[in-house]
Amino acid sequence: MILIVDSGSTKSDWLAVDKHGNKLLEKIRTQGLNPAILSEKKLYKTINKSEELSSNNEKVTHIFFYGAGCGTEKPRLALKGVLEDFFPNAEVSVNEDTLAAVYATINNPTEAAVVCIMGTGSNCSYYDGKALHQRVNSLGYTLMDDASGNYYGKQLIRDYYFNHMPENVKVAFGAKYNLESDFIKYNLYKQPNPNAYLASFAEFMFLHKDSEYTVNLIKNGIRVFAKNMIMQFKEELKTVPVHFAGSIAYFSQNEIKEVAAEMGFNVGNFVRRPIDALVPFHTENL
């Protein structure tokens, strides 16, 4: 059994297939497994909550894990150790989520492209057709993650409290969420995964895209992301497209294309969930 995992901070999707790519189990979903945020104990506990994973742990021969928080060595190795403990017979590979986005969005294995992730978190890399290159080391959701779900969640809450929302949008936002200050602070400072909590507010934007305020909020976030991340690759952008993966990008396609026209880069493919495209890649390259 081969497990292919696409993990963000909010959720992890697991596909179980055989060496020919045939599905062995229905898609498994667990909470997100971000080793930069969660302890090894919490990572193990989260995996163990899945009855399907627990009951099949000894059948697994290969794990290809792509996740948020796996771009630096220490958290990557911590998660690798947890997976090796839980799946004792498996050969385990752990890589950053950007590499999954690359394999899912490029048109052929040797295509060069700038590839962006805009989901709960955000990131941007250049793939030269063989290897991945990053020019900015991520410092996580507190300082970076522009145009991500948690970025937009933070902007929405701030605009609500600073009275920067139009009144009709503010009423709708207040009706949808518990915006009591103590409740917000409890989730941000006392609960695990505050980045995922912030990202839960981002859905509101896509339910209210009839508002000029909301559309401008989305575009301004993309402009910040493009300036800070995409434009790190100015030379490469002259000859390669920019592909996007993640739910925020998928539902912001029009706004991304508008910002791309403003800033002079070429938009390529959009993929909401990279995991499905990873099955043929790995089964053909075992």
Return the sign of the alpha-carbon dihedral for residues 70, 143, 98, 190. positive
Q: What is the mean pLDDT of residues 124-142?
A: 91
Does the pLDDT at position 175 exceed 90?
yes
Per-residue pLDDT at 138? 83
pLDDT for 206-216, tens place per residue?
999 999 999 99
- The whole-number pLDDT of residue 283 equals 85
Contact predicate 246/119, CB 8 Å: yes
88 closest CA partner among 57, 111, 125: 57
Per-residue pLDDT band for 97 (boundaries 50, 70, 90) equals confident
**Residue pointed to by tokens 């937009």:** 152
103-123: pLDDT as tens digits: 889 988 899 999 999 998 999
pLDDT of residue 68: 85
Confidence class of residue 236 from pLDDT cuts 50, 70 and 90? very high
Give the integer Cα–Cα distance in Å for 254 and 159.
Answer: 23
Find where tokens 């911590």 sit. 78
Domains along the chain with CATH numbers: 2-100+274-283 (3.30.420.40)
Residue 133 one-letter amino acid = H
